[in-house]
Amino acid sequence: MFSQGERPIPGYRLERFLGRGQFGEVWAADGPGGTLVALKFIALQQKTGIRELKSIQAVKRIKHANLCSVNAMWLLGQDGGVLDDHEIDLLIRNQSREAPSQTLAIEATQVMQNPQYLVVSMSLAEGSLEERLKSQGEGGIPREQLIDYMLQAARGIDYLNSPVHNVGGEMVGIQHRDIKPANLLFAGDSVLVGDFGVAAAFGEYDTEATSVVGSLCYMSPESIKRMPSHSSDQYALAITYYQLRTGTLPFEPTVSFAELVDIHVRGKLRFPLVTDHEREVLARATSTDPKQRYATCVEFAKAIAAPSEPVQPKSRPLPWPALLGGSVVVLLLVAAIVWGIFSNNGSEPGNNDPQPQPHAIVFEPEQTNYTLSIVPTSPRDDLDSDGQSVADINLLPTDKVRIKATSTNVLYQPLDQEFTYDQLVRDDWKVALKPIDAAAMLEKVTELATGGNWEEAQKLFSTAASIYPELKDKPTPETIELQGDPDAITHSPRDNRIATALSGDATSVLGLLELAEPKSEATHVTISTLPNQIHLPDQIPWAVLMQDSVAEVISLDKSGKPYEIDLGLPKVVAYRQITCSTLSPDGKSILVGQDHQSVTLLTITTGDKPVTKLSMSSFATRVDAVAFDPSSKYCFAMGQSGDGGRWPANDVSEASATDFKIADFDEEIISILPLSESVLYVFTDSQVIRLQIPTDGGIAKSSKVESLSSPLLTARLSDDGKFLAYTTENPARPLSIIEPKTGTLSSLQPPDITGVVEDFDISSDSRWLVYVNEDGGLFVIDLTKQPFVPQGILPSQGERIKFVRLSINDADVVTLSEDGTTTWWNFVQLVLAAGQ
């Protein structure tokens, strides 16, 4: 977000990057008078950023020898400028309004300067205790040194917790809520408690929060339940002590979120690597009952500082029952009877109904929202509750619980089930939502990616692959075998179809495949001979096969009779008079270039003969290349000696022609790709040229893009015109990508790319270029990242692939091998699996 040397705040120069979190960055900065400070930049677009603003606002005036001081704070606007101080209060007020006032909040926010970052100036520490722990290598920080650290930190925390701070006119205590080694800083021999990003006044809690606040590894049971106590920071400090003392946390490092919640809530922390004395102190400081903990953090620190040598076991005294004999039993029995009589407060003797006992139900996955209703055996209050992640509930063994739960993670099914007490006990009070099946997961991931949310899709795919590893390890394709070997191939992006001429044993057929339906069978139509080119006009079940001198029009669903359009000269010996042809991007016209110095326009209509000859124009030379511009409004032809012509796409005639020419030109033109009415790229047998055509024709302005040392194979323009890619037979530079807007040329070379590129396609959003190499391996290039670097997404399947296309929504990639095998792969799955 920021760079060394920048001055985002007047008087402060960024000197050294210190770290990055989920919502911002921290820099060491040179401040006024040469003072070094830490500047924390917090993005305010997230609710967490607003929460941190509120927290720092609450503690900014608090000063203590063991608290990291907040020196100043600013807001940065969209333009990077510093906003007035009143914007901070205005922002907090707008974010703090109750639900009924949301309209007012929106109106007030609209007059603000739309702050982007909160910037906080703090004391610059030398490092954190987490860093010091890592520098120790094996084991933890020496105990004597650590005790001193703990006492200093405890003094800072106790002062913060004390009700001596004026917040909003009230004297309150402040909870830090995120005590951990990373937030205990050191400067010289002093320890400072820092990072007040989630601090809050006692009794204040984010009631709209959708998850617990703080770091779960150090979080007290009551904080998990979103009801923190005065000793919640002590709980975290005790775990921090154990980690700094031993280098480990008091639970297995591989525990899941739900297991960790269960460990805290049920008091299952274990402290095996310290002395008995330390273990006893830590157990008290981390009691699940806040009232059982020490009165202050300093009291805890002094208790842990007591001599730590293991206490030698002494001879156990005889228990009281053994000393007093049966008299104790009698006394206990009498006491029990007396208690039974007087504990009923005057009710009938023997009315000892069992009382509901507290339990915590932990939900999986994380952030599961629940609503539960207790089905009791006898009426009582407080039977319904709702919340997230952990449910605190009072149950009798005879009760049942109706639970409805949904996860914010779309990969899990909703739950609506009744549980008995015994079921919950057997499941260790854990309720796990079932994941949806693998196919449904992949569908949701694909929807995200094809909608442009590739980053979110990557996160969701990682979760999905952790549940179903085969999504990453074994992508499963769909295949169809065509009846013959592919020859000429075409693709209709509008109708999402592929057509290929197939040669078989003494027969020729046209194979048609619907890309959107990989499981559907291919359609095969018998043809008289293999064509030079194939066109699939828009929205009609016909195909146009370009032969040497005729256009053969055939019905794909056998609803009409085939016919021919003669495009050759009469009384001329048959030879290839049709030199080239192209279908317009809108699929409604076909432009045909001819050897006998003419250009013909075919149009698509309706009726028994839906493809007809519309118009024709003479041309100066033999026509070598024809094309339409991306809008289908203009068509172009070029031929020998650099002669060219442009016509309206609905009228190819001498009257409508605009003639142009490349001066001093004597090369064969292989292909042309228009960008607009006046700009086109020309590919010859030796170079790539960019042409600028004058409005009224004449000599075109030409500029050389690059030389070609090998013949052109394929050239293609992205749908939005952002990229023009082409391939050649030169293995040293097999693929080049031009960005026409800037003129930038990127030529991929070994070792980034190996071998000749057989075919490629560009996604509809111009993000991906997918290609297949001569070995049959499938690769992808992310066009949003520079430099362009290919990434393998599928190894060779053992067949040479002649053709690759992305489906209309970029969800699938379809390959056609030389033996006629057509294969559909989930393109999103291949890309995301390769990125894991």
Residue stretches of the annotated binding site: 40
Which two structure tokens, joined as six digits, stand for 582? 């192209």
C-alpha dihedral sign at 87, 89, 90, 95: positive
* Residues of the binding site for ATP: 40
C-alpha dihedral sign at 169, 170, 172, 174: negative
Q: Report helix, strand and coil shares of the chain as percent, to nearest 5.
A: 25, 35, 40
Other Cβ atoms within 10 Å of 802 Cβ, number: 20
Per-residue buried b or exposed e for 215-248, using 16+ beta carbons within 10 Å of the residue's own CB: bebbbbbbbbbbebbbbbbbbbbbbbbbbbbbbe
* CB proximity list for 409: less than 8 A, separation 6 or greater: 365, 366, 367, 463
Backbone angles phi, psi at 252, to 5 degrees: -65, 140
Which two structure tokens, joined as six digits, stand for 30? 């040179």
**Cα(613)–Cα(558) distance, integer angstroms:** 22
Which two structure tokens, joined as six digits, stand for 183? 């937030």
Q: Which of 654, 695, 688 is nearest to 669 (CA)?
A: 688
**For residue 355, how many C-alpha atoms fall within 13 Å in the half-sphere facing its CB?**
3
Which two structure tokens, joined as six digits, stand for 437? 């099946």
- By CB atoms closer than 10 A (0-12, 13-18, 19+), residue 339 is exposed
**Cα(584)–Cα(632) distance, integer angstroms:** 6
Which DSSP category does 630 fall into? T
How many residues can be counted in the chain? 836
**Cα(131)–Cα(111) distance, integer angstroms:** 44
Three-class secondary structure of residue 223 per DSSP: helix
Contact 389, 363 (CB under 8 A): yes
**Cα(42)–Cα(40) distance, integer angstroms:** 6
Which two structure tokens, joined as six digits, stand for 702? 């030409």
**Cα(166)–Cα(177) distance, integer angstroms:** 19
**For residue 694, how many C-alpha atoms fall within 13 Å in the half-sphere facing its CB?**
10
Backbone angles phi, psi at 99, to 5 degrees: -55, -45
* CB proximity list for 589: less than 8 A, separation 6 or greater: 583, 601, 602, 603, 604, 614, 628, 632, 635, 649, 650
Whether the bond into 787 is cis, omega within 30 of 0? yes
* CB proximity list for 637: less than 8 A, separation 6 or greater: 591, 593, 599, 619, 623, 625, 626, 644, 645
**For residue 343, how many C-alpha atoms fall within 13 Å in the half-sphere facing its CB?**
10
Paired sense of beta strands 357-364 and 430-432, if any: parallel
Three-class secondary structure of residue 758 per DSSP: strand
**Cα(323)–Cα(816) distance, integer angstroms:** 92
Which DSSP category does 632 fall into? S
Residue with tokens 């016509």: 647
Q: Which of 210, 576, 207, 177 is nearest to 368 (CA)?
A: 210
Which two structure tokens, joined as six digits, stand for 636? 């172009």
Residue with tokens 């609803």: 559
**Cα(788)–Cα(747) distance, integer angstroms:** 9
Backbone angles phi, psi at 27, to 5 degrees: -125, 145
Which two structure tokens, joined as six digits, stand for 264? 């805290």
